[in-house]
Amino acid sequence: MTTTSYLRQSKTGSVENDRFPSLETASFASRAILSLRDYILQTTGRRIWGLTFTLYPDGKFNVEYDYNKPPDYEEDDDDVAATSEATPVANLLGGLLGNAVRGASEDQTPESQRLFEALTLLQRQTAEHSANWGLGSETNWNLDINEGWLSWTLGDGRVVQAAVQVVGTYNTKNNSFMLGWDHPSVPEPLRRAAQQVHTLGQELGIHRWTTRSVDCTEDEAWQFTALAAQQDGASGAYRGDANGTWVYMSFGEPSIDGNPAKDQRP
């Protein structure tokens, strides 16, 4: 028979069912599975809606998962959520952002060269934020779309905050990217960075950069975001999951309690 570990607390102490894996082991394994769930969402765009984890007495385990969304769950694919679940940022340096850089560098057109330069800059900025204050290790993120702030909660409880611009939202169901310059869910003050891409597209005659919604890959969404961040003089860029829709953002200089985050290394 398979069961789970338990821990009972009393006035005189605690009793643990030590015939089975310890509570610490079970908790660690559960966290690992949840991290895997988040990683799958970040790298593939597919959300696991149901997850069952069983840990057996001998230490072996079984994981069952379900990609089917509950029928009573409703969402707006292009909505920008003001608050979202804890979703650590993907490994931008070696993963999605790296793919976007390589994709842009393969073409020698003026458009691709601009994207390559923007992505290279963003890659360097991301590395600096990761080293300086821990971008990528956050346990939660929050977008206050009304006040124009993006914040990250770190594992030690510190909260990092930065002014934000919404570059666009990526719909994983139809692989489309809606730019923030004409996005119904993005307030006017948060459209500036996306508008920079639109303006540059008009100047250079690049129709794709002036199109409200484009069919593209996640790598290409990063390219749009990097270009917007570069043109707007941003400190970096970030994407977060908002109920199954990726929100791509650029941000200003991060701070902790009003002081530059780069001066407060963990």
> Environment class of residue 155 by beta-carbon count within 10 Å: exposed (0-12), middle (13-18) or buried (19+)?
exposed
Give dist(CA 24, CA 117) in Å, integer: 47
The residue among 62 and 106 whose pLDDT is bigger is 62
pLDDT digits (tens, 9 = 90+) for 101-158: 555 455 567 788 899 899 999 999 998 998 899 898 888 999 999 999 999 999 888 9
pLDDT digits (tens, 9 = 90+) for 3-32: 444 444 444 544 444 455 555 565 566 666
The residue among 181 and 82 whose pLDDT is bigger is 181
Residues 6+ apart with CB under 8 A from 4: 20, 26, 55
The residue among 148 and 264 whose pLDDT is bigger is 148
Give dist(CA 105, CA 116) in Å, integer: 6
**What tokens were used for 55?**
């840990």
pLDDT digits (tens, 9 = 90+) for 174-233: 999 999 999 999 999 999 999 999 999 999 999 999 999 999 999 899 999 999 999 999
CB 208 within 8 A of CB 214: yes
Domain ranges of the chain: 7-66, 96-263
184 Rama class: left (phi>0) / alpha (psi -120 to 50) / beta:
alpha
Question: pTM of the prediction?
Answer: 0.64
- 157: helix, strand or coil: coil
The pLDDT, as a whole number, for residue 21 is: 55
